[in-house]
Amino acid sequence: MSTAVQAGPGAHPGQPAAIAAVSVTKRFPGVLANDAVDFCVWRGEVHTILGENGAGKSTLAAMLCGLYRPDEGHIERNGKVVRLRSPREGLANGIGMVHQHFRLVDRFTVAENVVLGDPNQQRLLKPREIDKRVAEIGDRFGLPIDPRALISNLTVGQRQRVEIVKMLYRGADVLLLDEPTAVLTPPEVEALFTTVRSMTAEGKAIVFISHKLGEVMAVSDRVTVMRAGAVTGEVATTDTSQRHLAELMVGRPVEIGTRRGTSTDNTVALRATGLTVLDGDQTVVDDVSITIRKGEILGIAGVAGNGQRPLARALAGVFKPAHGTVEVGGVDVTGKGPTAARRAGLAFVPEDRLGTGLVPDLSLTDNMLLTRPRGFFVDRRTARAEIAAAIADYEIKTPGTESHARVLSGGNSQKVLIARELAGLGEAGGPQVIIVSSPTRGLDIGAAEFVRSRLHDARERGAAVLIISEDLDEVRSLADRVAVLYRGRIALEGATDQLPLESIGLAMAGVDESASAGLEGAT
Amino acid sequence: MIPFRIRLERRLERHWWQTAATPLLSILAALAAGAIFLLIEGFNPLTVYRELFEASFTSRYGITDSLTIAVPLILTGLAAAVAFRMNLFNIGAEGQLYLGAIFGSWAGLAIAADLPTILGVAAVLIAGAVGGALWAAPAAVFKAYFGTSEIITTLMLTFIALFLMRYLIFGSKSYWRDPEVTNFPQGKKIPPTARFELWSDTRLHWGLVAAIGIALLVWAIIRFTSLGFDMNVVGSSQNAARYAGIPVRRTVIVALLMSGALGGLAGATEVAGRAYALDPNGLELGLGFTGIVVAALARYNPFAIILVATFLGGLRNAGVALQGLPGERVPVEVSLMLQGVILLFAIGGEIFSHYRLSMTRLNTVAAA
Amino acid sequence: MNDTAIVLTLAAAVAAAVPIALAALGELLSEKSGVLNLGVEGMMLIGAVMAFQVGDASGSLWLALLVGSVAGAVFSSIHAFLSVTLRANQIVSGLALVIFGTGLSTFIGKSIEGKPLATDFTPIRWGPLGDIPLLGPLLFDQDPMVYATIAIAILIAFYLNRTKAGLSVRAVGESPGTADTMGIAVAATRYAHVMAGGFLAGMAGAYLVLGQVPSWSQDGTTAGIGWIALALVVFASWRPLRVLLGAFLFGFARRANFWLQGEEWAPNIPAEFLSMLPYLLTIAVLVVWGSRDLRRRVGAPMALGVPYVRDER
């Protein structure tokens, strides 16, 4: 075993870790997801892997459960080296992972889902026995579930319980939970913590993957913080504070030539009031009010899954809000659809570039027409000239104007989107409000720089820009003002240069600084 | 074990010649397979193929008969193409064809007598289109509003249409039935002003021109109108359609209605060009289903549909014509089998236009 | 009572239901694994012609039945290959199978066209039970295939609901991605069930040609039963026992014409409208139940008709 593992805080000398990752490295094309990471969990311990999106937590967890194989380094289970080639082998070794996106068959009952694919299951199903065992596990660990319930009738919190029971049923002693509280209401979170405690009482090892500081502090024994693929710190919860963890999590970002807006025009370009969006019975955008003036860039930061997508779509008119209003350039476009919003001067570059922003099986010329008003006949000549010019000016790598959008790389499709949505900037009829989601995600430096300069340019010309991104660095370098989205609400707002970094980090992690002075307790 | 892993990988670029090559290669592969089969059965494949070809494509009557059969196939092919390229699986063109024949023959009988021929024929065609669209409407509405499978609804409606058509001629003394013919039930003939003129002494009629014209029209709609544009977007990505503000439900309904109308036109052209009456026996030929085959082989391209329809029409015709020809006693079924084999190969080959085979050496994947 | 037209019709309906039920049960298995196979007609025709050839040559009814079934299974493997491995459009593939099957079976059947078959299925009498009014002729005086079909339906129902393998195939049809993650071999499962469907469809065709219409002719042998079977699966909400019931209804609808024409009290419903009935009912069921089936356990497998592509890791 590596020395880091043995000597770490809270180590139990003489006892092997329930599971450990020893100097694991994992590479994907263009990305170093994990860089010589050391990690271990003991029996009866709750250990959280903390970090932002892209920090490498999910990759590490995937290697621990057998979904991925490390390029370098190895995994140890109870002190013995194991090579896990699939999640099934992971389970055979007693390691189970509950993913963010559940792997459940909607039309099956709870019991059927638990038993599906279980190698230890006999050929003949004995429903009563299975039901009994499932209910038993549920009771033992504080996970009340009805084995006969249909998954489609369960709430998200209940479905998560099914996933946990699934793992326990197959004898998992090490459980990895990927962002488990992201989809839970506060009382469900409490119930989960109770479950976790009863599991550790029986000697199970629990690995939490999370970005939510308050909960992390409440339930974990130890925390490993990751940033950009490497471990930035490993501490016992009792030895640290939320502020400290936030620092480790967010780090000291490099200032990439920030330029702030110099506009004095106070005209409101986009105003959203009390915007609320529902997804089924979940509130994904909760009473959000935003104001953006001409010549200003507002950035909305937050960890993925806190309402960014529905918010962008509600503002752009693609989703109909349950409550609230959206005004573009003073015109009320609430619930009138994207065409009305566009007519009022709104442009939207979605994060799903190929599939939403661009139509994969259409030519580039046709894609230029997608968000433009069209008469009875389709006039391709202007669009073709436009895209041809854009290909030349922006150095878009593509076989030609008629090639399908599908063949474009990430950077090039973003260039096409920018060319389309920002066309006519500064002229009459051009975009007044530009919403961009994840503008530089997945782009190489050159393309990213291009996008940034175009957005600055838009601001210079008096447009109002809204950037929604999970990359805090991106937001802070581009935006004049920042707002933080947490659980569908605006948790914090202010001028970028005046908001302390730790405050932003804490808000992203769901901590309300003004609530308590100690800042050590739970949310 | 096997030291290589063979995988199907998505292609990133598609040249136009690759798109055209696949059906052609499939046809060749199918003919090769067919040749092997013929050899086993003791026939000379080259002779057989030559006779087939001659029967349909070289003699004057052969070509015109092939083209005559091609007319409804072009239209049912268009019907399938319009819907299938949007992942809307209207397999009820057969039934929509019957309704088109019903409506078209009614128009011919009821209103064409006093009109000049061009209007008379137009009335038959328009009525046929309306009939077909009407028959696709339930499927369209159920799909758009309830998400009901259009595969099943259009298929069920086909059978209902079949029985309806039979009822009108065999089961009752309806308006469509000819009261003067008493020994066997037959449809009343439409007046000459409702008929397509024949081309000299052949069976080919001007409906061919109409069909080709309609193919051009469909192509133009898809290519040049906003409706066509919307259909293209919805067919490729519903997310993009919603993002762009395109009404998805409405587009789906319009597409299915259009598809139905095309099927109805197929029935109408059969009435106006060949049967001159509502003739169930002459219509129950599986033209609707064959149209799906045409569309698939032609990759949903209207121009290719014209060519493929002619080719399949020729194959069909050859089967019939061969029976009267001296020489090699080729079984009639060969043409039907060839159709099926060609289609199977074409379907199988389709994948190679989207994916390619890649072989990677399995190295140290296991040792991590 | 048992000599009346209605009872005779009902009894005939039971026999008429056999091929419909068999073909539908086969298609049910295929669809449960997520593969739509429109080629039922083709598979039935192949089963029929092969069964007839073997039956004529060997004189053994059961051998003919077996060969017909196996022929159907082999024929359906083409569809499995196209749909599962080559990920082709399942609808077009199924239709191609019908066209090919029609041609191929006609070709194979040339030598036996119109020839009557020597043997026939003799009904099994269950003794005095066969004299019970109404139920007697219906249930206790039928040829062995009727009982075999009922047994097959019960077996399939048991398989799907009570066995581990049945659970796996249902998962493959509902959510192949989930099934794949849970370690189930999606492609192999689909192949197996498509071919099982072909086996039963071949059996249905064989039974038709051996038991009910003891001769082979180019058209009219299967009389569109393959298409009815497709409708029946939907009508029965993908439940095997309901398939039996539906097959009986559909079989009755086909036989009812003759019966009603002989009855004075029956209104003069044209035969064609009676024929329409099964199809109208299917649409009604589909629409009425369709909007509710999100909540219920019945309904089409969610992944029906969609080729499964595993995302690259």
Q: Do B147 and C270 touch (CB under 8 A)?
A: no
**Does residue C137 lie in a domain region?**
yes
Closest CA to A436 of A365, A357, A501: A357
Mapping DSSP to helix (H, G, I), strand (E, B) and coil, where does residue C117 land?
A: coil
Mapping DSSP to helix (H, G, I), strand (E, B) and coil, where does residue C31 land?
A: helix
| Cα atoms in the Cβ-side hemisphere of radius 13 Å centred on B226 | 13
Mean residue pLDDT across chain C: 81
A355 DSSP 8-state letter: T
Look at the block and give the residue holding tokens 């003394």.
Answer: B173
The pLDDT assigned to B336 comes to 73
Most confident of A67-76, C65-74, C217-226: C65-74
How many CB atoms sit inside 10 A of residue B146's CB?
A: 13
User: At C27, is the pLDDT very low, low, confident or very high (cuts 50, 70, 90)?
Assistant: very high
DSSP codes joined into one string, A138-187: HHHTT----TTSBGGGS-HHHHHHHHHHHHHHTT-SEEEEESGGGG--HH
The distance of B344 to chain C (nearest Cα, Å) reads 6
Q: A104 and chain C: CB distance < 8 Å anywhere?
A: yes
Taking phi first (over 0 means left), then psi (-120 to 50 degrees means alpha), and beta for anything else, what does residue C34 get? left
DSSP codes joined into one string, A249-315: HH-----------------EEEEEEEEEEEETTEEEEEEEEEEEETT-EEEEE--TTSSHHHHHHHH
Q: Closest partner residue to A116 among C171, C294, C297, by Cβ? A: C171
Closest CA to A241 of A261, A259, A266, A216: A216
The pLDDT assigned to B368 comes to 34
Cβ-based neighbours of C65, under 8 Å, separated by 6 or more: C51, C203, C206, C207, C210
* Alpha helix stretches (DSSP H) within C33-143: 40-58, 61-80, 90-108, 135-139
Which domains are present in chain A?
17-250 (3.40.50.300), 268-508 (3.40.50.300)
Best to test chain C binding among A86, A88, A116 (most C CBs inside 10 Å)? A116
Q: Closest partner residue to C271 among B142, B171, B331, by Cβ? A: B171
Which chain C residues contact residue B157 at CB under 8 A?
Answer: 279, 283
| Cα atoms in the Cβ-side hemisphere of radius 13 Å centred on C193 | 30
Measured between CA atoms, the residue of chain B closest to residue A407 is B12
Distance CA C85, CA B7 (A): 11
3-state helix, strand, coil in chain B (%, to 5): 70, 5, 25
Q: C287 and chain A: CB distance < 8 Å anywhere?
A: no
Q: What is the pLDDT of residues B154-205, one digit of tens each?
A: 998 998 999 899 888 887 778 888 877 777 788 888 888 888 888 777 778 8
Best to test chain A binding among C162, C174, C181, C189 (most A CBs inside 10 Å)? C181
Domain that holds residue C175: 5-290
Q: Closest partner residue to B225 among A85, A370, A378, by Cβ? A: A378
State yes or no: pLDDT of C298 exceeds 50.
yes
Distance CA C209, CA A335 (A): 62
Closest CA to A41 of A229, A168, A165, A196: A196
Distance CA A420, CA B174 (A): 60
Query: What CATH number did the domain enclosing C130 receive?
Result: 1.10.3470
- The Cα angle at residue A309 between residues A306 and A310, in degrees rounded to 5: 90
In the numeric block, which tokens belong to residue A434? 């530009």
Q: A373 and chain C: CB distance < 8 Å anywhere?
A: no
Measured between CA atoms, the residue of chain C closest to residue B341 is C100
**Number of folded domains that form chain C:** 1
Q: Do A374 and B229 touch (CB under 8 A)?
A: yes
Count contacts between B and C (CB, < 8 Å): 137
Positive or negative: CA dihedral A141, A207, A501, A316: negative
Q: Closest partner residue to C175 among A88, A105, A153, by Cβ? A: A105
Residues 171-230 (C) with a CB less than 8 A from some CB of B: 224, 227, 230
In the numeric block, which tokens belong to residue A223? 């925390």
Residues 321-340 (A) with a CB less than 8 A from some CB of B: 337-339
The residue among C25 and B146 whose pLDDT is bigger is C25
Q: C169 and chain B: CB distance < 8 Å anywhere?
A: no
Measured between CA atoms, the residue of chain B closest to residue A341 is B245
The distance of B232 to chain A (nearest Cα, Å) reads 8
State yes or no: pLDDT of B115 exceeds 90.
no
The pLDDT assigned to C1 comes to 60
The pLDDT assigned to C87 comes to 85
User: At B327, is the pLDDT very low, low, confident or very high (cuts 50, 70, 90)?
Assistant: low
Average pLDDT over residues C280-291: 75
Measured between CA atoms, the residue of chain A closest to residue B242 is A318
Which chain C residues contact residue A87 at CB under 8 A?
Answer: 181
Q: Do B155 and C93 touch (CB under 8 A)?
A: no
Which chain C residues contact residue B348 at CB under 8 A?
Answer: 81-82, 86, 88
Measured between CA atoms, the residue of chain C closest to residue A112 is C167
Q: Do C92 and B343 touch (CB under 8 A)?
A: yes
Average pLDDT over residues C77-100: 90
Chain B interface, Cβ < 8 Å to A: 12-14, 223-226, 228-229, 232-233, 235-237, 239-240, 242-245, 365-368
Q: Do C106 and B348 touch (CB under 8 A)?
A: no
The distance of B240 to chain A (nearest Cα, Å) reads 4
pTM for the whole thing? 0.83
**Does residue B24 lie in a domain region?**
no
**Number of folded domains that form chain B:** 1
Mapping DSSP to helix (H, G, I), strand (E, B) and coil, where does residue B276 land?
A: coil
Q: Do C178 and A103 touch (CB under 8 A)?
A: yes
Best to test chain B binding among A370, A380, A412 (most B CBs inside 10 Å)? A370
**Does residue B343 lie in a domain region?**
no
**Does residue B357 lie in a domain region?**
no
Out of A199-208, B143-152, B220-229, C18-27, which region has the weakest mean confidence (pLDDT)?
A: B143-152
DSSP codes joined into one string, A39-58: EEE-TT-EEEEE--TTSSHH
Average pLDDT over residues B286-294: 88
How far lies A39's CA from each of A18, A55, B327, C5, in Å? Answer: 11, 15, 83, 82
**Does residue C151 lie in a domain region?**
yes
The pLDDT assigned to A402 comes to 87
Residues 61-90 (B) with a CB less than 8 A from some CB of C: 84, 89
The pLDDT assigned to C44 comes to 94
Neighbours of chain A (3+ CB pairs under 8 A): B, C
The b/e string for A329-338 (b: 16+ C-beta within 10 A; e otherwise) is beeebbebbb
Q: What is the pLDDT of residues C236-274, one digit of tens each?
A: 889 999 999 989 888 887 777 667 666 666 666 777 787
Count contacts between A and C (CB, < 8 Å): 61
Mapping DSSP to helix (H, G, I), strand (E, B) and coil, where does residue C214 land?
A: coil
Q: C86 and chain B: CB distance < 8 Å anywhere?
A: yes
Kindly give the interhelix angle for C90-108 and C40-58, rounded to the nearest 10 degrees. 20
Out of A196-205, A263-272, B51-60, C73-82, which region has the weakest mean confidence (pLDDT)?
A: B51-60
Which chain B residues contact residue C288 at CB under 8 A?
Answer: none
Q: C168 and chain A: CB distance < 8 Å anywhere?
A: yes
State yes or no: pLDDT of B102 exceeds 80.
yes
Which chain A residues contact residue B228 at CB under 8 A?
Answer: 378
Q: What is the pLDDT of residues B236-269, one digit of tens each?
A: 999 999 999 999 999 999 999 999 999 999 999 9
* Alpha helix stretches (DSSP H) within B41-175: 45-53, 60-84, 93-111, 117-146, 150-166
**Does residue B19 lie in a domain region?**
no
Distance CA A317, CA A145 (A): 39
**Does residue C257 lie in a domain region?**
yes
Q: What is the pLDDT of residues C127-163, one digit of tens each?
A: 555 556 666 666 666 778 888 999 999 999 999 999 9
pLDDT by 10s per residue, chain A, length 523: 343 444 344 456 667 888 999 999 998 877 788 988 999 999 999 999 988 777 888 889 989 988 888 999 999 999 899 998 888 888 889 999 998 888 899 889 999 999 998 888 888 988 899 999 999 998 888 888 899 999 988 888 889 999 999 999 988 999 999 988 877 777 788 889 989 998 999 889 999 998 777 788 889 999 999 988 899 889 998 888 877 887 787 775 544 456 777 777 788 999 999 999 998 778 889 999 999 999 999 999 988 778 899 999 999 999 999 999 999 988 999 989 999 999 999 999 999 998 899 999 899 999 999 998 888 999 899 999 999 999 988 888 888 888 888 888 888 899 999 999 998 887 877 899 999 999 988 787 778 888 998 999 999 888 999 999 887 878 888 899 999 998 899 988 998 888 887 788 788 877 776 654 444 443 3
**Does residue B255 lie in a domain region?**
yes
Measured between CA atoms, the residue of chain A closest to residue C297 is A107
Q: Do B152 and C230 touch (CB under 8 A)?
A: yes
**Does residue B307 lie in a domain region?**
no
Which chain C residues contact residue A107 at CB under 8 A?
Answer: 174, 297, 299, 302
Most confident of B84-88, C60-64, C68-72: C68-72
Which chain B residues contact residue C227 at CB under 8 A?
Answer: 155, 159
The pLDDT assigned to A13 comes to 62
Neighbours of chain B (3+ CB pairs under 8 A): A, C
**Does residue B123 lie in a domain region?**
yes
Distance CA B210, CA B178 (A): 28
The distance of C304 to chain B (nearest Cα, Å) reads 10
**Does residue B261 lie in a domain region?**
yes
Q: Closest partner residue to A117 among C163, C168, C170, by Cβ? A: C168
Residue A276, φ and ψ in degrees, nearest 5? -130, 130
| Cα atoms in the Cβ-side hemisphere of radius 13 Å centred on A457 | 14
Domain that holds residue B126: 74-286
The pLDDT assigned to A4 comes to 40
Neighbours of chain C (3+ CB pairs under 8 A): A, B
In the numeric block, which tokens belong to residue A110? 């709870």
State yes or no: pLDDT of C216 exceeds 70.
no
Q: Do C78 and B344 touch (CB under 8 A)?
A: yes
Residues 22-81 (C) with a CB less than 8 A from some CB of B: 36, 38, 78, 81
